[in-house]
Structure formats: structure tokens, C-alpha cells
Amino acid sequence: MKKVRIRLFQISVSPTVEENLDKVERAVSMPWKPGKTGRPLPRKAGKKCARNHFDFLVLPELFTTGYHNKDKMKILAEDMNGATVETLKRIVRQYGIALAAGSFIENKQGTVHNASIAIDRKGRLVNAYRKTHLFSVLKEDKLLSPGNEIDVFRIEKITAGTLTCFEIRFPEIARKLTLQGAQILFCPVEWSHPKSEILFTLARARAIENQIFLALTNITGKSGGLNFCGGSMIIAPDGTVLARGSGDKEEIIDAEIDLRHVSIYRKQIPALSLRRENLY
């Protein structure tokens, strides 16, 4: 797969899991329309679009629930066979697309994680990344347990990696995934005002320093007492912003990327191959 069509869904989190999953299906049902900016979500799901109208859907962090106190997080947690995952499997099969990233509150044998999942076109779960670096400033480390694995995964013939929200501040994670062969990094986030420019700078930095594509999806609106800043984006290996959502609207953002540009750009500026690892 060389050219890849990516759709970001910048959701405003509604009160129930069911409402948010319904929004996801509406977002998937919209016709493909690439552009530099986003466009609004329709009020009702459209007719089933032609299969393969886009390739990958990227959802935000905890897009069905947002963050809550510890007791409610435990109540909302589901396992990998729960309603959220099963609904997403049904959606990707029905519309012939793949889910590249998007996290939910997972209950794994009594341990609660922030888990981002990837599901291929056939509805098979191909990756479950449990956030490894928890944001102690908002007491995420008191609400959830960290994962302990950082690895790339294969989906629809591409190699990808996941960074979840706070983890975009750790260049080591993006570099490890790059050296493992990732062609693109998928970043589900819940990032709030007034730090929107920090998010934009970090996202471009991770793409530029690793000469890799990066697709980041944020939420928008208010949730858990915070005002989220949107700005979902798709970035090329040279730092070019291919598409970017608004800061305050629920939107779909579509863009096509050409994965050949990863190797082309690395040949033009061979920064990765010129590293002197013995010095660091």
C-alpha cells in the first residue's frame, strides 16, 4: 500500500458510550472529501458509502467516555470483547475500512488501562496498545495502570506505531517505533487549552525528527472540567501540515498520504542514517 487515505474524527464527547459510538458510525458513513481543513459531522448516518472510500480511521483518546474519577472509570471499563470493541468491529466490516487508533477504558482481568486499538477491514483486532506513560499532573497514574510494551504493528500492509496523548512529549517512544520500521505514527489524544500550540509543535517535531508521517486526533469541547483544543492534524515527514482541524468544532478531517515519501525524504536528508549512536 503506497497511497493511503486517512480520516480523523475530532469528536466532542457526549454523555454516553452509545452516543459516541453512533457519532463514530456517522463519521465513517460520510463520503470521502480531502481538504486542508475539517468539515462538520452530519446529524444522521448517511447511506452506506462505497467500500474502501477511505483506508484508515483515527479516533481520539478515550473517545467514548473522556476521563472520570477512579470509581466511575472502573464502572465504564470494558474488556476486549465488550460493546465498544464489538461495535467498532462491526463498523469497520460494514464500511470496509480499518481503525488505526482510538483508545477506551479497558478492564484487563481487573486491571484498568487506557488502551488504543487497531482493527483491520475484516474486523480482526490487530493491535492493543496500553498507554505506558501516564500523566501524573492530572492524576492519570492514580486512575489507570500503565502498559509495559512499545512495539510497531502491521495493519493493511503498512507498519505503524501508536503514541497516546502525553507520550508525544517523549521523543524516545517515537524514535523506538521509527527504528522498528514504522511508516506512520498514530496519536490519539485528549489535549486541552491553553496548550494547543505546544501540541502542534510537538507533533511536527516528532514527524520531522523521525522523517515519518504522523496522524493525530484530538477531542474538542468541554469534558471533565477541561476545555479541549481540537486541532487534529496529519503531518508529512518534512513537517508539512497536510490537513488540520479547527480548535472548537466537531469535525471530520480527510487527507491522502503517499508512504513512498518516507524513503524519498530520508534519502534527501539522511539524518537517521547519520546518527552516531555510540555518542548518545
Q: Report, as residue numbers or ranges, the catalytic residues.
A: 61, 131, 165
Task: Compute the distance between CA of residue 58 and CA of residue 256 in angstroms, rounded to an integer.
Answer: 13
Look at residue 258 and give its three-state secondary structure: strand
DSSP 41: P
How open is the CA angle 186-218-234, to the nearest 5 degrees?
A: 50
Sign of CA dihedral 81, 83, 84, 86: positive
Residue keyed to cell 480531502: 34
Question: Whose CA is closest to 31, among 50, 55, 4?
Answer: 50
Question: Whose CA is closest to 147, among 165, 130, 134, 166?
Answer: 130
With a CB cutoff of 8 Å and minimum separation 6, the contacts of 42 are 26, 29, 30
Task: Compute the distance between CA of residue 115 and CA of residue 77 in angstroms, rounded to an integer.
Answer: 10
Kindly give the residue spans of alpha helices, DSSP state H, lying in 2-133. 17-29, 70-76, 83-95
As given in the structure block, the three cell numbers for residue 245 are 482541524
